[in-house]
Structure 1
Amino acid sequence: MTLPAVPSFRLDGKRALVTGASSGIGEACAVALAAAGAEVTLAARRADKLRTLEDAIKGQGWQARSLAMDVTDISETTAKIAEAGPFDILVNSAGLARHSAALETQEADFDAVSDINVKAAYFLSVAVAKGLVAAGKAGSLINISSQMGHVGGVDRAVYCATKHAVEGFTKAMAIEFGPHNIRVNTICPTFILTDLTRPTFGDPVKRQWIEDKIALPRVGEVEDISGAAVFLASDAAGMITGSALLIDGGWTAA
């Protein structure tokens, strides 16, 4: 008998751009993509952190380079991507959260969170897609969204609004870019243990709330997200676009 072909998860010969790569989920995704064979461009504002990560990745015999930029500066970001691209893969992990009761929302906080989570993510995706279309290349654009892009959360009205918006433009772009063989998807994590979330996990009441919402007997780690990024970037996910991959330990199932 003829066996079905086994799809490859390898990314050899692919060029990836990872924003928010200086820490947390972005850092883990960058490492995973590099380990899978991609040449990874590490992007964030903190140039020193990027160089340290670049050196560590190269120390493993993998490929990486640094690109310091502020994704909220749309003109700078667009110009740098046009110069450094085209990129076959985008993992947009840059993001911001400022939580408060909705009745206490400050306009400055709303604007800051929206500017990076929605506006910057939108034009970042557009910039990478433009490079792919001009080069006649297929690609995979991955936005790191959140479980909060599918449900609501106390003190998270602004954050939920921005992540719901990411889910919306991801679906619209998937339809528009599909004829160019450019796939657009989101990864939607639950609370993931990182340096930024340690204060939350360090609060016994908040940690208990998180653990009560997650069906599995542990909290999320960055490795839970980076494997999904490799999958969505690879040919193994070649028929997946306009979708949201929930990595929430069963949070939204309830």
Structure 2
Amino acid sequence: MTENYFQNKTVCVTGAGRGIGQSLTLKLAKLGAKVIAVSKTNEHLKELIAQDNSITPVCVDLADWNATKEAIKPHLPIQLLVNNAAVAILDSFLDVKPEDFDTLFNVNVRSIICISQEIARDLIERKLPGSIVNLSSQASAAALKDHSVYCSTKAAVDGLTRVMALELGPHQIRVNTVQPTVVLTDMGRIGWSDEKKAAGMLSKIPLNRFAEVEDVVDPIIFLLSDKSQMINGVALPIDGGFLAT
């Protein structure tokens, strides 16, 4: 990667308060980027700023379309965007509730459209290039028990990414997605602490391990960087070979 690529670049990371988003935000700041960290939980943002006070916090609920647009406007232009924020509400297909469907699609899909529209319109007006990375999941391409709505949202993210790449590409704005397997964030470690449950998933991963946070952070940084200038509209599995089996 070009050593100084992120110097003087403004990057926005959603879902920055925890897990992948937090680690990604801190690493981008260390690479010299001006980072806009978006989270709906102010306490998480305070903890983030305590680790690196160069980061700019934005506290907003991404499920609120108008509030999100207003919150991001003062920070434009933003050349690099990572749509990482997501929620998971798990239930069997027969027990899916309409309010859970709305919550998952509002955060996991609609918020990507909302914030990406605001940032892309501004870049087009200024004639600036950009790169957007959307966080999908192996769940976009493989059925997981009790994940019917979550899987649906991630499949929607992949489809949305391809159309964004098609329409924004002529403006030199690249759009790609990554598809991680289970990631050992704090929440991931708790969710997959049951050895029997973990063994079932690990048996389907040729590398026989789950992803560490850095396994996801580094490919995202690559897709944001000048080392991936001809990569557009790609869904990159980060799954140890899960989707190859």
The alignment's TM-score, normalised by the length of structure 1, stands at 0.92
Residue 8, structure 1, aligned to residue 40, structure 2:
no
Within 1, Cα distance between the matches of 2:98 and 2:146?
15
Matches within 5 A, 1:1-254: 8=2, 10-58=5-53, 63-254=54-245
* Partner secondary structure for residue 223 of structure 2: helix
Within 2, Cα distance between the matches of 1:144 and 1:218?
20
Within 1, Cα distance between the matches of 2:67 and 2:127?
24
Within 2, Cα distance between the matches of 1:130 and 1:72?
20
How far the C-alpha of 1:157 sits from its partner, in A, is 1.2
Residue identity opposite 2:206 in structure 1: A
Are 1:200 and 1:207, in contact at CA under 8 Å, matched by a contact in 2?
A: no
Within 2, Cα distance between the matches of 1:8 and 1:240?
16
Residue identity opposite 1:142 in structure 2: V
Are 1:187 and 1:244, in contact at CA under 8 Å, matched by a contact in 2?
A: yes
Are 1:142 and 1:229, in contact at CA under 8 Å, matched by a contact in 2?
A: yes
Residue identity opposite 1:124 in structure 2: I
Within 2, Cα distance between the matches of 1:210 and 1:33?
31
How far the C-alpha of 1:52 sits from its partner, in A, is 1.9
* Partner secondary structure for residue 51 of structure 1: helix
How far the C-alpha of 1:51 sits from its partner, in A, is 2.1
How far the C-alpha of 1:20 sits from its partner, in A, is 0.3
Q: Please list every run of 5 or more consecutive structure 1 residues that lacks an aligned counterpart in the other structure.
A: 1-6
Are 1:34 and 1:64, in contact at CA under 8 Å, matched by a contact in 2?
A: yes
Within 1, Cα distance between the matches of 2:191 and 2:72?
34
Runs of at least 4 residues off by over 3 Å = none
| CA deviation map 1:110-131 (0-9, x unaligned) | 1111111111122121121112
| 1:4 matched residue in structure 2 | none
Q: Please list every run of 5 or more consecutive structure 2 residues that lacks an aligned counterpart in the other structure.
A: none
The alignment's TM-score, normalised by the length of structure 2, stands at 0.95
Residue identity opposite 2:36 in structure 1: T
How far the C-alpha of 1:55 sits from its partner, in A, is 2.7
Identity of aligned residues (%): 37
Are 1:32 and 1:227, in contact at CA under 8 Å, matched by a contact in 2?
A: no
* Partner secondary structure for residue 186 of structure 2: coil
Residue identity opposite 2:77 in structure 1: P
RMSD of aligned Cα (Å): 1.3
Within 1, Cα distance between the matches of 2:40 and 2:156?
24
| CA deviation map 1:124-170 (0-9, x unaligned) | 21121112112211101111111111222221111111111111111
Aligned length: 244
Residue identity opposite 2:23 in structure 1: A
